[in-house]
Amino acid sequence: MTTTTTDTTTTTPHSYPSTYGLHLCAPNDRNGNPQRAYMVFADDGCHWLYEEGYIGSHAVPAEHRERIAGRWTRINITQAEYRRILRGI
C-alpha cells in the first residue's frame, strides 16, 4: 500500500476526506493564451491550484484527477479575477 504525505498527515490515496474541484475559466489573454486553472479542495482544509496551460486536465497530478474523476465544477471568471486568484493562493 502506497502512502502519501500531505500537511504532515500520512494517508493512503483513498483515505483522503471528501475532495472536490473547480475548473476556473477566464477568457484567453490578448495573445490567445488560455487562462484556466484547476483548484482542488479537501474537507481537511488542504487546497491546491494548478494552471492549465496547454496540457489541460493533465496539469493536475494523477492522484487528484483520480479522486475527482469527472466531478469538476466549471466556473467562468473574468481575467482580473483569474489574476487575483493566481496572486492570492
Domain that residue 63 falls in:
4-88
Whole-number pLDDT of residue 74: 94
- 3-class SS of residue 46: coil
Domain count, the chain: 1
**For 21-73, what is each residue's pLDDT tens digit?**
999 999 999 999 999 999 998 888 778 999 999 998 899 999 888 888 878 89
Q: How far apart are CA 49 and CA 41, in angstroms?
A: 9
Say which amino acid occupies 5.
Answer: T
Whether pLDDT at 9 is above 80: no
- Burial class for 17, CB neighbours closer than 10 Å (0-12, 13-18, 19+): exposed
Whole-number pLDDT of residue 10: 43
